[in-house]
């Protein structure tokens, strides 16, 4: 389950252009189309390629506000963590949830239409999460850069 430099080139191109045709991909990575197709299938089967998605423009979707929410729980018992994680995973406005080392137990990435919409999300969802002792929200003023591409 190791990858070589050709696999890395394939992964790099696919992260930038997921809808590229196999013929164009094979040209870009200097492989025959059949060899390229076999490699992509292997990378998918081995889990290096997890999925293909469409990345939406948050502004065009009327969700331009990004809020990072630091959550501190009342305890660290497995049942507290599990209950929190189950509940937070059901909130559609939460794009990411990370268990942290440091001052906060979790950091959430939340999208909203504006501050009023975030207030609704906070009131209806975040404030009802189980085990929460403290919550601090930080609004992103501007996204300097954003990528989904991992370094390969």
Q: Domain with 24 in it: what CATH number?
A: 1.10.10.10
List Cβ neighbours of 104 (8 Å cut-off, separation of 6 or more): 70, 71, 72, 136
Residues 124 and 75 in one domain: yes
Note whether 82 and 114 are same-domain residues: yes
The answer on 71 and 33 residing in a single domain is no
In a domain? residue 81:
yes
DSSP type of residue 48? S
User: Cα separation of 96 and 81, whole Å?
Assistant: 16
- pLDDT one-digit tens code per residue, 19-64: 999 999 999 999 999 999 999 999 999 999 999 999 999 999 999 9
Residue 53 lies in a domain: no
Q: What's the domain count of the chain? A: 2
pLDDT band at residue 18 under the 50/70/90 scheme = very high
Would residue 145 count as lying in a domain? no
Checking 110-115 for CB contacts under 8 A at 24+ apart, the result is 110/66, 110/67, 110/68, 110/69, 111/58, 111/63, 111/65, 111/66, 111/67, 112/63, 112/65, 112/67, 113/62, 113/63, 113/64, 113/65, 114/64, 114/65, 115/65, 115/139
Q: Which domain holds residue 129?
A: 65-139
pLDDT of res. 152 = 95
Residues 78 and 110 in one domain: yes
The predicted pLDDT at position 1 comes to 80
Residue 105 is assigned to a structural domain of this protein: yes
């Amino acid at each position: 389950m190791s990858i070589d430099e050709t696999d890395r080139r394939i992964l790099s191109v696919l992260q930038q252009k997921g809808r590229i045709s196999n013929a164009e991909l094979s040209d870009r990575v200097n492989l025959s189309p059949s060899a390229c197709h076999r490699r992509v299938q292997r990378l998918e089967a081995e889990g290096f390629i997890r999925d293909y998605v469409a990345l939406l423009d948050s502004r065009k979707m009327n969700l331009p506000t990004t809020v990072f929410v630091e959550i501190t729980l009342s305890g660290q018992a497995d049942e507290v963590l599990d209950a929190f994680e189950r509940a937070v995973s059901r909130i559609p406005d939460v794009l990411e949830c990370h268990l942290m080392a440091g001052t906060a137990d979790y950091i959430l990435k939340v999208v909203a239409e504006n501050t009023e919409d975030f207030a609704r999300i906070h009131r209806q969802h975040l404030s009802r999460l189980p085990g929460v002792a403290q919550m601090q929200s930080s609004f992103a003023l501007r996204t300097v850069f954003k990528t989904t591409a991992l370094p390969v």
